[in-house]
Structure 1
Amino acid sequence: MGEHDVVERTDEPLTADRIRADLRDLGVDAGETALVHSSLSAMGWVAGGAPTAVDGLLEAVTAAGTVAVPTHSTQLSEPTAWENPSVPDDWVETIRAEAAPYRPAVTPSRGMGAIPECLRTYPDAVRSRHPTTSFSAWGAAAEAVVADHAYDSPMGEESPLARLYERDALIVRIGVDANTSLHLAEYRADLDDPPERSGGRALVDGEPRWVTFEEPTSRDDFRDVEAAFEAADPDRVWRGRVGDAEAVVCRMRPLVDFAVEWMEANR
């Protein structure tokens, strides 16, 4: 959606105070830990753009809380799996050998949206070390959330998702369907699908290296999981708006626990 279209459908500029107030109405209170997935354009026209939206998020949880966002960098992922666009087979080895390695402070996120890309650059924000599926965080528990992100656990037990699960973080989705927390359920579920081999370009002991790892096979059924979760107990899903965007909030731990059982029964 172009900026002209966003202006046309917005009644008044969205401010950090309004974003904070809307989030508070959804239960995102001071001291909370929140994993946020977001669309800046879905919120309406934000005065000042992404930094204003980030300010509103941080003001909602305050310095006593923590905001985490996915800052994945799939431009450093296994090129044979690329589809949008795919690349010629004879490019693959050059990409693996010559792509600039992942560096938390330098490497941009890809396809995550303006808000995560902005938050990762904020003072006191920290980013995990995984070359393709990093998370960035700000706040009281930020260091603990992103620490020791294992290469062979992109979104598993040694990833920021597991640390957020331990804290029973809020899952906050603003104008998007994305929900990375359900990937943790794929790691925990006892499923028959064979894992997928993947990789990424990283700095290992200061030297650029291609690192390989395995991930569970993911399926396009996350919306089905979420619908079943809400149908089983509507009170544990909170709906509202942040600006013009539809927003959905729930606790991570019960959602992931439910998703493990659902996946084992339905996949």
Structure 2
Amino acid sequence: MTQEQLITKDRIQSDLKKLGVTEGMTVIVHSSLKSIGRVVGGAVSVILALEEAIGDSGSLVMPTQTEQLCDPTVYGSGYTEEELRIIRDGMPIFHPDLTPTSYMGFIPETFRKQNGVQRSAHSHVSFAAWGKYAAYITDNHQLNYALSEQSPLGKIYELDGYILLLGAPTNSNSSLHLAEYKQQNTFRKEIIWDVKISVNGEEKWTTYQDINNDSDDFGNLFDDFKKETNYVVDGKVGQATSYLIPMRSMVDYALSWMNNNRA
């Protein structure tokens, strides 16, 4: 029986550089710690390797979403009316420095707690950032149309940033939501979300508008983009199959792809 190789921070940093991660880059990372292998130091080593690879002149971004704060009926709760009342009354508002992520994984959950990391104030789809443009990326994250050009994703696009899928599935690429706001088809349906926010010091439930971004074709889009362009760089980071992609090129491609492939 062969023992699985231990993966160190230095090994991760070396693999990132081979993949094309360089000093000064703005990078949004989707990650799977388990996929990387037996990492000495776990999520901390991965985060430090990423930060050292891009340096102080770079910017590191991760999604830190908190869908657990949405109204309990959003995902089909099965609660009684009395239980719904108790949950709604007792649900805390979003606290950027305190509220844990939901379904994001160990790496973003660890990253958001690091000194110097800033987090956008959206109650549902926040992002955390470290580095040169951290404040710019996370400031003024509007409640409505939360993944549009005015969001942290739009600012990464403006900064000519990169997407890094670090062992994460190819359908987890949140940057592709940017294209959905411009696509010309019926999928761009408006929906309403319920979240709790602070209004003049008082906690209140409110609604915000967005489009339907419950996408299930991002994996197919990735496959076509990789096949039809030469922008995707793939390699191993530790044991994880990983991809480095220029965001602007992929989002621009995605807009045309969505218009042609969605009803």
TM-score (norm 2): 0.93
Deviations 1:68-121 (A, max 9, x none): 0000011001322225xx342523343333201100000000110111011111
Q: Distance in 1 between matches of 2:54 and 2:207?
A: 36
How many Å separate the matches in 2 of 1:39 and 1:140? 25
Structure 2 residue corresponding to 1:162, chosen from 146, 154, 164: 154
1:150 counterpart = 2:146: no
Superposed displacement of residue 9, structure 1: 6.2
Note closer, same or farther for the CA distance 1:38–1:9 as it changes in structure 2 (3 Å cut).
farther
Map 1:43-192 → 2, pairs under 5 A: 43-83=36-76, 86-90=77-81, 91-177=83-169, 178-192=172-186
Shift of 1:202: 2.3
Aligned to 1:220: 216
Give 1:201 deviation, angstroms: 2.0
Structure 1's 9 and 152: CA in aligned 2 closer, same or farther, altered over 3 A? farther
Look up the SS of the partner of 1:161 in the other structure: helix
- Residue-by-residue CA offset, 1:23-70 (whole Å, 9 max, x unaligned): 111111010000000011110111111111111111111111000000
- Structure 2, gaps ≥5 residues long: none
> Bigger shift: 97-106 or 198-207?
198-207
Q: Choose which of 249, 253, 264 in structure 1 pairs with 2:259.
A: 264
Q: Say if 1:19 and 1:205 are closer, same or farther in 2 by CA, change over 3 A.
A: farther
**Residues 9 and 150 (structure 1), Cα distance of their counterparts in 2 relative to 1, 3 Å cut:** farther
User: Which stretch of structure 1 is more off in the superposition, 17-26 or 190-199?
Assistant: 190-199
CA distance in 1, matches of 2:52, 2:256: 36
- Which 4+ runs in 1 deviate beyond 3 A? 91-94
Contact 1:161 1:184 survives alignment (8 Å): yes
What's 1:5 paired with? none
Aligned-pair identity (%) = 36
SS in 2 for 1:214: strand
Quick one: distance in 2 between partners of 1:35 and 1:44?
A: 21
CA contact under 8 A between 1:151 and 1:211: conserved in structure 2?
no
The equivalent residue for 2:10 is 17
Q: Could you list the per-position Cα deviations for residues 153-189 of structure 1 after superposition, in whole angstroms to 9, with x for gaps in the alignment?
A: 2211221011111112110001111111011111221
Secondary structure in 1 aligned to 2:156?
helix
In structure 2, relative to structure 1, the CA distance for the partners of 1:26 and 1:198 (3 Å cut) is same
Secondary structure at the aligned position of 1:80 is classed as coil
On the 8 A contact 2:145/2:211 being kept in 1, the answer is no
**1:113-162 per-position Cα deviation (integer Å, ceiling 9, x unaligned):** 11101111111100000011000000000000011000112211221011
How far apart, CA to CA, are the structure 2 residues paired with 1:23 and 1:176?
15
Report 1:29-40 matches (<5 A). 29-40=22-33
Q: Deviations over 1:195-221 (max 9, x none)?
A: 121122223343322231122223310
Q: Gaps (5+ residues) in structure 1?
A: 1-7
Q: Is the 8 A contact 1:149 1:160 kept in 2?
A: yes
Aligned-residue CA RMSD (Å): 1.5
| Letter of the structure 1 residue corresponding to residue 231 of structure 2 | R
TM-score (norm. length: structure 1): 0.91
Report SS of the residue matched to 2:7. coil
Residues 181, 213 of structure 1: alpha-carbon distance in 2 compared, 3 angstrom cutoff:
same
For the residue of structure 1 that corresponds to 2:181, the secondary structure is helix
CA distance in 1, matches of 2:253, 2:80: 41
